[in-house]
């Protein structure tokens, strides 16, 4: 018997998800109380249908209904006490529930196997949890789409290989993350629509026990009972199952969650790069009383983006466990998935919930430093704009290869100056080069070398993505 209250927040291990990560709605879905309430809901639905079929009495069913919501700290403690002796959590709950139901206790779980109860309860929890994630993702997408629209025209340097490349716009960069999340939302909705329970199919999926309960000639009892119970639970079932529903379903669900985490991992990692002082263009919100470092009072660490990446990295590891569960479920069932499913599925949802919640806060309070963006454009933009100058020179009659070499030489000298801490001299040097001004005027060259409008159709493409939200 446990030596202390297993529900105490201080006397036994508590997961960081208990208080630190995820919201109350998601924590409630994966709580012990919700799980046991769902078990009882299924037992009541089963008994109600069995009553309609003349197998159990109305008084017994009424007794089960009367006590179905009596899942308390005391009742859970009692179930854990029983489980300590019998080593079976669901049967411990059956006995606890039966102790509360003096009339109907004897017919709880009649004809069922454990997974008839647990897998249908899990399917209901998967569906509810996906609804929470879906609503949170919708809110994040709405907020991000607004930012895409707001910054669609704000030119900024793009980076390839973490080196300055050509200009893009802030909104177009944000649109890349939005586009990924829109794909994630499609996957989430498809996954949610396909969630199914095991149904009522007994120990190896044949419904033999339920058919046995009927009178002679009741061969259709198994199918009829299953359909009527599922109707009460408002969930569909796989047409074929073993002792469990196909474990592939768990893998598919957590893959979808990992996809959301993947998209937000990239966003958060990019934000961390852009917040670093050498670039300094974006920053996550920083509270007035927020402490950045215990040792360095001046620090403004991107802790929320780092949290997203930390949790997403953990979440990315979980689909493999569920792949193994599906692949290693030998014949009609082995139990080597049971222990890890208690942890993996719940924590996948809890981590995703926290990741989306934090990302939404970041997007709402995202700081875009437009003066710094302009300074970076002034520093690095001329290099990208030389492409426009090159094309103008060739159109005016210059030799493309000769002009390419001339611009290359000026560019290398400009990089040397930048590395020495000087302003970028590239525009002035090119505008003063007589070879350049032989084909275009210095004023024309200066206009061509201004990269602030060298963003192609990025604003239009950004808005097109936002419109999909």
150-162 residues labelled b (16+ CB within 10 A) or e (exposed): ebbbbbbbbbeee
pLDDT of residue 49: 94
Of the listed 4, 161, 215, 294, which one is catalytic?
161
| Nearest residue to 192 (alpha-carbon basis) of 323, 347, 349, 342 | 349
Q: What is the mean pLDDT of the segment spanning 133-150?
A: 98
155-212 pLDDT per residue, tens: 999 999 998 889 999 999 999 999 999 999 999 999 999 999 999 999 999 988 888 8
Looking at residue 2, its pLDDT comes to 47
Is position 276 annotated as part of the catalytic site?
no
Catalytic residue among 8, 12, 276, 293: 293
Q: CATH 1.20.200.10 spans which residues of the chain?
A: 114-196+238-367
Categorize the per-residue pLDDT at 217 as very low, low, confident or very high, splitting at 50, 70 and 90.
very low
pLDDT > 70? residue 219: no
CATH fold label, 31-107: Fumarase C; Chain B, domain 1 (1.10.275)
pLDDT tens, residue by residue, 64-90: 999 999 999 999 999 999 999 999 999
CATH 1.20.210.10 assigned to 371-467: no
Q: How far apart are CA 211 and CA 223, in angstroms?
A: 9
Q: Quick one: 451 exposed, middle or buried, by C-beta within 10 A (0-12, 13-18, 19+)?
A: buried
CB 98 within 8 A of CB 90: no
Predicted confidence (pLDDT) at residue 464 exceeds the cutoff of 90: yes
Please list the alpha-helical segments (H only) found in 328-369. Answer: 338-364
The CATH 1.10.275.10 portion of the chain extends over: 31-107
Q: Which tokens belong to 132?
A: 């929470």
Domain 114-196+238-367 CATH (choose: 3.30.1330.10, 1.10.1740.10, 1.20.200.10, 3.40.50.1820): 1.20.200.10
Give the C-alpha separation, 461 to 337, whole Å.
46
pLDDT at 111 over 60: yes
> What sign does the dihedral 334-339-345-348 (CA atoms) show?
negative
pLDDT tier, 433 (very low <50, low <70, confident <90, very high otherwise): very high
pLDDT at site 145: 98
Query: How would you class 379 by CB atoms within 10 Å of its CB: exposed for 0-12, middle for 13-18, buried for 19 or more?
Result: middle
Residues of the chain within CATH 1.10.40.30 domain(s) are 371-467
State the pLDDT at residue 211.
85
Place 410 in a pLDDT band, splitting at 50, 70 and 90.
very high
Q: Quick one: tokens of 372?
A: 């710094």
* 207 is a catalytic site residue: no
195 Cβ contact partners less than 8 Å away, ≥ 6 residues apart:
123, 126, 127, 130, 235, 249, 253
Note the pLDDT tens digit of each residue in 325-377. 999 999 999 989 999 999 999 999 999 999 999 999 999 999 999 999 999 99
Determine the pLDDT at residue 8.
62
């Amino acid at each position: 018997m446990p030596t202390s209250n297993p529900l105490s927040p201080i006397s036994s291990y508590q997961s960081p998800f208990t208080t630190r990560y995820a919201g109350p709605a998601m924590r409630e879905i994966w709580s012990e109380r919700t799980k046991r309430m769902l078990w009882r809901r299924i037992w009541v639905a089963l008994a109600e249908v069995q009553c309609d079929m003349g197998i159990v009495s109305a008084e017994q069913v009424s007794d089960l209904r009367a006590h179905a919501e009596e899942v308390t700290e005391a009742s859970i403690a009692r179930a854990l006490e029983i489980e300590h002796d019998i080593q079976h959590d669901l049967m411990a709950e059956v006995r606890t529930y039966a102790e509360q139901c003096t009339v109907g206790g004897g017919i709880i779980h009649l004809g069922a196997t454990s997974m008839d109860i647990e897998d249908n309860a899990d399917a209901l929890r998967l569906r509810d949890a996906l609804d929470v994630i879906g609503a949170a993702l919708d809110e994040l997408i709405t907020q991000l789409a607004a930012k895409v629209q707001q910054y669609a025209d704000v030119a900024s340097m793009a980076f390839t290989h973490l080196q300055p490349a050509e200009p893009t716009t802030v909104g177009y960069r944000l649109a890349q993350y939005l586009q990924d999340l829109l794909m994630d939302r499609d996957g989430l909705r498809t996954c949610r629509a396909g969630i199914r329970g095991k149904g009522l199919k007994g120990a190896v999926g044949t419904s033999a026990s339920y058919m046995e309960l009927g009178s002679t000639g009741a061969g259709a009892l198994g199918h009829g009972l299953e359909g009527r119970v599922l109707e009460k639970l408002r969930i569909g079932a796989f047409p074929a199952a073993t002792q469990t529903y196909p474990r592939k379903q768990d893998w598919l669900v957590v893959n979808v969650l990992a996809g959301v985490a993947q998209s937000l991992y990239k966003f958060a990692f990019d934000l961390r790069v852009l917040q670093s002082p050498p670039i300094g263009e974006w920053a996550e919100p920083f509270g007035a009383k927020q402490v950045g470092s215990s040792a360095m009072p001046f620090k403004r660490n991107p802790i929320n983006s780092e949290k997203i990446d930390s949790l997403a990295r953990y979440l990315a590891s979980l689909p493999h466990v569920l792949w193994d569960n599906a692949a290693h479920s030998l014949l009609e069932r082995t139990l080597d998935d049971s222990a890890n499913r208690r942890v993996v599925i719940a924590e996948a949802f809890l981590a995703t919930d926290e990741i989306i919640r934090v990302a939404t806060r970041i997007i709402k309070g995202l700081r875009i430093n437009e003066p710094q963006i302009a300074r970076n454009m002034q520093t690095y933009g001329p290099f990208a704009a030389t492409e426009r100058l090159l094309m103008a020179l060739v159109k005016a009659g210059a030799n493309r290869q000769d002009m390419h070499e001339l611009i290359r030489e000026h560019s290398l000298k400009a990089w040397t100056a930048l590395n020495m801490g000087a302003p970028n001299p590239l525009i002035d040097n090119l505008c003063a080069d007589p070879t350049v001004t032989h084909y275009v005027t210095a004023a024309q060259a200066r206009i061509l070398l201004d990269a602030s409008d060298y963003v192609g159709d990025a604003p239009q493409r950004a808005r097109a993505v936002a419109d999909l939200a």
